[in-house]
Every structure is written in structure tokens, then in C-alpha cells.
Structure 1
């Protein structure tokens, strides 16, 4: 069965405030974001018959349905892991709709990522450290490789060694995201300016990565409503069609564990390289057709690797591309135009989906003039998922 382009649309988006301490449960946050998305789509809870969530989310499909007052679910699904999830979650909603299992699907992500579970910390699970879970972690955790920051620092160092990439290139990525956040009143870093010198002088966390190479820790939630394209005309908002979805793990992957990627022949090539081929083939588009991109940015190096793997430049040329100013407002490829994970808020990248929609509606705080194609990505590694959104 071939992929159906533009078969579904995102008709509603919603988000909570992004903060360091919400003082609320994750269910409360998820409910607020979901209600906002429904209102944006001109719908009520009684219209929802499907729910998709992240496998890291503490808010269950039953919990959100009960909280909203959904009368019946004919479909519920879950995917992930973590940052790989948001675009895949939207893809799962598309699959449910096109297969006839649901008509209107709520997709959400909620977390107290600062006041509650802090994802930057290493595992405290002794079973994982000694192989009790049957995972790769026993080969890494006992030797001190326990945090995402350490892992991505290794990828950054390898790229620098292999291609001569400078830390200044990573700083340009951080500054591009911060400048977008400065134009976005909803961003956590809205009122905090960041310069290239600030990035260079920042304290080291896991070299070569420094403080501003890391994403934020955030309490918040985001949600979107997905429905069939033929039903999108009933929405009060301009149609944003889902042109294509793709996922990829590449070799040597264990769901939820990123470290096996270090055993690949080239750690500077991520699953984005294979996901990109599938995505653009399904969408009938290429990198040159993309007007604006929302790259998953848990770390600056993640963006640089995706620039190469999605075909916006050759391998090893991500650094010069970033330093050229192409990623900033007015550049040839504006990125993360609400601020991204590094400056708007970290909700495992679900906020990137919302900003991809805003760009095509013409309502972004950093609007790209004439934007018709928006790329949204979700995390490499341990896997990658991605969306191509187009104006309806």
C-alpha cells in the first residue's frame, strides 16, 4: 500500500505556559493543552475518538480522556521513545484515521521536566547498570557514560575531529534559536539575549559542549488535533496538511537507549539520513522545497547533524552552513522559529510541531514570508521521526 499524501491535516494546536515550576500535575497540564487545541480546531471533547501519547508520558490515554470528558475512544496508541516521538505520534494518528479506526485524534505530550523528572540526569536504576534489564546500558553506565549530554558530546567531538568543525558553529545554532525566542513572548528565554561570546565563555558541561549547547528543562504540555483532510474544511483555522511522515532507527538501536549508536561505523551519521530519504520520497519534495525547519534540538550538535543528514548540505559542511547565518531570520533556512528546545521550552519537541503549523498559518512570532513547506523533526538518536507539513 502506497503512502497517501495530504490525507490528513492538523486542525488544532494548544500549549500551556512553559515554566520551571508549574505547581501542577502533568494531567492538569495535558488537559489544558488539549482543551486549547480543541478550541483552536472548533471542536469539543465529544468529537475526539482517538488519542496518541508518548511512551514517556505519565498521563495515560484513559486519564486524559476522562479528564476531558471524551465519551468513547475507538483508538488509542503510544509511541516514542522520548524526543523521537512527537512526529511519530502524529504519524500514528494519521495511520489510525486513514485505516478507519478513528476520525479525530488528540496527540499530546506533557511533562514536569524541571520540577519533576529531570531528563538530563543519569539513570539511577541499578538493574540497568548490571544488565538486569537485558539492555546495552551495562556496557556504558558502570564506566560513567550515563547522561544524554555526555553522549552527544562524543558525537560533537567526533564531528570536530573528522571535519574540523568549530564550536563557533554550534554557537551560531544556539544564537539562532535564542533570537527566535526573543521574538516569542511564550518562550522561556524571551527576555534573555544570547551572543556568540556568551556561548564561547559559558561554563563547560561535557566538553566540547557548553551550557548554551544544552536544551532547557521545562514544565509544560503541548497538543495537536489530527483529522482527515476532507474534514479539515470545517475548522476555523487555515488547513495545514500532513504531506508525509517517516521514521527510522538505522542499525544498532535499542528503543529508548541511545548509546549503541556509538558502535556504528560512523557516529556522525544518524537515523535522520535514512528517514530523510523516506520522507522526501513520500512527500514528492526535496530539501530545496523546505521553506522553514523545526529541528529537534536537545543539543546544538543534534541540529548540525540533521542539517547534513536531511540533505541541506554535504556531510562535514554543517558547520560552515551554520556559521554563514543561513539558519537565522532572513537566512536561506530559518530554523526553530519559536526558539526550539533550547530557548522556547523542552517538551520533548512537541512544541516544534505546533510551530511548524503556525508557520503555515502565517501566525508565527518569527514568520517566514510565503512559507508553504515546513519540516519538523524528532530526535536522532536512538531513532528519528519527521513530518513534512504543507499549506492547505
Structure 2
């Protein structure tokens, strides 16, 4: 580890979350405060001592208001990472950088959504014509051709992947079935006690071919928060600090937001390849050192190329990985043991980071044996991020 690396220099010491629902009945600010206070209580830290915050875009909860309500005395660091779900891991990386460099001592990372009861990310009606900023103008080139929703954008990549590598809708369904199996035994999951079969997946209605309804994540209300501090201080706060062994962000050639259709190949996720190389290089770990992973599952087709980008399967062979059940309960690399965004809730990926924390702590409801390192990824199809969290 060089002096410039963040590897192993910060740890997560507090975790808090609200319930996950379709109608919280509270503001996003209140949800954020509930999760943040729970995380600080878990860490045993006075709210007034928080001096840093990090979250990510498509967020309506300003850090200054949380700071005011917490009674923070001095806030010395705050950041908001762009690109929505692609930023799900980046705030933890930013927090680690802040505490490792002395910019802050105690950083709260949070995500709060009323994404079902207040507004919907995938509605296909965004008012782009009224706000001609760059992203909106860019999407204007795609929408006349039917690319109105995230499902349509992902469907383009999925169809090409199927054509190139022989993957099938059933392979995507195997990802959904495994996620719902984990959710069925997770009391915090919206789909608790509601597993599905592959036949049910195949019978679910089309959203945008080749995506069925059960290939798509939920829309959820809820909040998750975490507390990050220096590793040496973490040992004084908890017997089980969750060490941030590596953190990375990534963009790749030809990158756009969900519409990188003009690359030479659209069967992979090269931005996650950037993240993978950075995480493994920073931590000194390899795919064989990972016991379980939380892979961003807003849509099932993108789980397969993630397995390939991170070296768990050769290019084009992730379909064999899921056909063998390596991703499922009892498999070689169980993924999304909380149920993922398909089965637990869609808190824009932050609930996935929370599951990684629980796996390292040994408190997950679907605990994997002898966990030392957990890989977490963020949103796919956009500039993205990732983490490796582990035990001391």
C-alpha cells in the first residue's frame, strides 16, 4: 500500500436503515434522518461530531439540512456524486478519501428515496423538452426511436449480448429467481416469503423485449445510511469494523449515460472493467479472494457481463455460471444475498452496500460462511463505481 492509496485506511462503523415500502408516508428528509440517526447510534457517535457528508445525484435531501437537524458543529467535507445509481459505491469511496487525508473525521453516507410514492425513475415521461440541459438534449436523439425508459435502453444491450453469446431469457430469469429466493428468507425484503419459479419469470409480461417484468427492479421508498471513520479510530468504536479495502469510479471509451450504443462492442460493461482493475490493483486481491458479491441488479441482463468484467466467468460464459447455480444459495459466489433491488428494495444501490456490511459483520440473514471480502458494484450503463469491503 502506498501513502496515496485509501486501501485499508478507513472503515464503516455504523449502519442504519428504515423499512422498505411502496408508500412510506414520510418525507425523504425524515427517512434520511431516521437512517442517519440509526447509523450513528449503531456506531456510538454523537450526531454533533459528524463533520462530513456524501450522497449522490437524483437526490432531494441536502446535506446542510441533515447537518442542521443533527446539530453538527463544523462540517468540513461534503460531496454529491453524479450519475444516479452509478454512484452507489462512490460516496463510501469519497468518505474514505476524506478521512484518510484528514479532511474529516466522521462522514455520513446516505440515500433516501420515495421513488414509488412520489416520483418514478422509469416512467418514460421526464419533461426533457422543458429543460434543455445536455443530458436531456442527448436523450432527445433516442426517444423518437422508442428509447423512452431504462428498460428500453438496457434491452438494446441485452439483445446484442444474447445474439453474440447465446444467452437466453431463461438465463436472465435464473438471476431473478435466485434474488427472489434470497428475498423470500429476508424479513426486511418487500418480497419476503414470495419466491418465484423460472416458469413464473417466463410467464410475466413483457416490459421491453427481451425484458420481462420480473427482469426489472422494484420501485421503493426507504433510506439507508452509514458512518465512515479512520481505521485506527474504528477499532475503538466497534469490535467488527468493516474495512474499506478498495474503492473506485470508472468511465470508459465511448461512455454515455445508458445509451453507449456507438461503441465497437456493446456486449460488455467496460466502465466496470475500469473499476475491476482498480479495485483488484488497490486491494491486492483477485476474484478468488471474494466470497460473495452484491452486483447492481436494476435489470437482470446486466448481471451477466458484470460477472465477466470482474473475472468470475470468461467473456460470454456468464450464462454457464448462472446455469450451474454458482450465483444462487449455496453456490460458488452467492450474489445479492439480501434479495437485491429485484427482491429486497430499490434504494438506488445503497441497500446493497448495507448487505455487504452485514456479510462482513456476520449478521446477514442469509449469511455466507467465512466471509473475508465482499465485492459491491454500482449502476451499470452509466459512469459507475465499486467497492471491496472486508474484515480486518
SS in 2 for 1:293: strand
Tell me the matched-pair count: 389
The equivalent residue for 1:98 is 100
Matches within 5 A, 1:328-347: 328-347=328-347
1:229 equivalenced with 2:228 (yes/no)? no
The equivalent residue for 2:265 is 266
- Alpha-carbon distance in 1 for matches of 2:27, 2:79: 22
Matches within 5 A, 1:349-368: 349-368=349-368
- Alpha-carbon distance in 2 for matches of 1:126, 1:81: 16
SS in 2 for 1:20: coil
- Alpha-carbon distance in 2 for matches of 1:131, 1:61: 24
Matches within 5 A, 1:54-203: 54-127=56-129, 135-203=137-205
The equivalent residue for 1:41 is 43
- Alpha-carbon distance in 1 for matches of 2:24, 2:72: 25
Instruction: Please give the per-residue CA displacement for 1:83-114, whole angstroms capped at 9, x wherever unaligned.
Output: 11121111111111122110000000001010
User: Per-residue deviation at 1:131?
Assistant: 7.5
User: Per-residue deviation at 1:144?
Assistant: 2.1
SS in 2 for 1:158: helix
The equivalent residue for 2:378 is 378
Q: Is the 8 A contact 2:32 2:61 kept in 1?
A: yes
SS in 2 for 1:333: coil
21 and 227 in structure 1: CA distance in 2 versus 1, 3 angstrom threshold: same
- Alpha-carbon distance in 2 for matches of 1:150, 1:133: 17
- Alpha-carbon distance in 2 for matches of 1:177, 1:124: 30
- Alpha-carbon distance in 2 for matches of 1:73, 1:170: 45
- Alpha-carbon distance in 1 for matches of 2:133, 2:74: 41
User: Per-residue deviation at 1:143?
Assistant: 2.3
- Alpha-carbon distance in 1 for matches of 2:29, 2:100: 28
128 and 299 in structure 1: CA distance in 2 versus 1, 3 angstrom threshold: farther
User: Per-residue deviation at 1:183?
Assistant: 1.3
SS in 2 for 1:11: strand
User: Per-residue deviation at 1:193?
Assistant: 1.7
User: Per-residue deviation at 1:4?
Assistant: 3.3
Matches within 5 A, 1:26-37: 26-37=28-39
Instruction: Please give the per-residue CA displacement for 1:26-58, whole angstroms capped at 9, x wherever unaligned.
Output: 000000000111111111201210010112110
User: Per-residue deviation at 1:275?
Assistant: 1.2
- Alpha-carbon distance in 1 for matches of 2:296, 2:171: 17
1:6 paired residue among 8, 23, 41 = 8
SS in 2 for 1:363: coil
Gaps of 5+ in 1: none
SS in 2 for 1:150: helix
Q: Is the 8 A contact 1:129 1:138 kept in 2?
A: no
- Alpha-carbon distance in 2 for matches of 1:215, 1:59: 23
User: Per-residue deviation at 1:262?
Assistant: 0.9
User: Per-residue deviation at 1:129?
Assistant: 8.9
Instruction: Please give the per-residue CA displacement for 1:345-364, whole angstroms capped at 9, x wherever unaligned.
Output: 00000001111010011000
**C-alpha RMSD of the superposition:** 1.5
Q: Is the 8 A contact 1:115 1:219 kept in 2?
A: yes
132 and 108 in structure 1: CA distance in 2 versus 1, 3 angstrom threshold: closer
- Alpha-carbon distance in 2 for matches of 1:222, 1:157: 34
SS in 2 for 1:222: strand
Q: Is the 8 A contact 2:88 2:379 kept in 1?
A: no
Q: Structure 1 length as normaliser, TM-score? A: 0.96
SS in 2 for 1:262: coil
Instruction: Please give the per-residue CA displacement for 1:321-345, whole angstroms capped at 9, x wherever unaligned.
Output: 1111101111000000111110000
Q: Structure 2 length as normaliser, TM-score? A: 0.96
Which stretch of structure 1 is more off in the superposition, 113-122 or 289-298? 113-122
- Alpha-carbon distance in 1 for matches of 2:133, 2:141: 8
